[in-house]
Chain A
Amino acid sequence: MNGVEIRGLCKSYGKIKAVDGLDLTVGSGQVFGLLGPNGSGKTTTIKLLLGLIKPDSGDALVLGRSISKGIELERVGYMPQETALYEELTVHENLKLFGGIFGMKKRALEEREEEVLRIVDLKGRRDSLLSELSGGQRHRISLAVALLHSPDILFLDEPTVGVDPPLRVSFWKTFHDLKRKGVTIIMTTHYLDEARKCDNIGLMRSGKLISKGSPGRIMKDTGTDNLEDAFLKLASARSPGVIA
């Protein structure tokens, strides 16, 4: 079973087509990167897949379940772009809240809490209020919450923004460890250098997928040696003279 299968997905806000006829398949246990400039439709795509917003047309399957009928959210981990956690609660309370919602038992929750805090390197801040943490640290806690219930598929919206380089390396190690365990990871990023670490990527522009495939394949097809040049070449080929 594929992690995600998207067929003709469309979503508009007024006259703006945020997602415009998206077709995409992400195999199970893949790390897939959705790339593109701000406003290209990456976040809207993730929200559509999670059922947070309803599509105007088209459908998608997440772990075999249609988004129109409701996906299995118990098997899904989501890290939004903004921290989206309770600043007036401690790190531990935030983790306990979301663990409880996912039906985790006390013992399992305690073990996983320690594990995810180790992954994000914030074990010492368990009892700190979220509001006392720096922006980067909050972002790391947000990832910890997404990983807490050991989901089968992870949607990560800009997971490495505000994360310093050494920790970013550690994050990528975690993502590849999860991939080895069969977890499908779909992430958005506009760090094109980072996208090279994905198994496959999709380049988005103005709501459309302008290219998809492995990073090496895309660079080869465009005759470039980095993804930034590949993206610029693809974008100008689609709409000459206009690069978002």
Chain B
Amino acid sequence: MTDLRLLLLSPADNVFVLREAVGEGETLVIDDRAVTLPHRLDRGHKIARRAIAPGEKILKYGAPIGSATAPIAVGEHVHIHNIKSDYTATHVIERKQEEPAQ
């Protein structure tokens, strides 16, 4: 079984989307396997559905949304630290200490 907090948008996808925020140290179940989150993740973030090799396409909505830049394990957070756009680079700003992530 797979955790109800994980949303699979297309059967072809190699990522799930979090329906709700999941706290640090909490456990998610993916295909009967328990994965513990090393840090809190907000609603809408992506979790690997299976192991993904560097260079492999990330599939969401059944469509490629970028490529892996590092090996990604099942249950790992899939985001800008381990995937990149195949079109234009993603721009982020470093968050200031006094403004916590929501």
Chains A and B come from one and the same complex: no
Interface residues of A (CB under 8 A from B): none
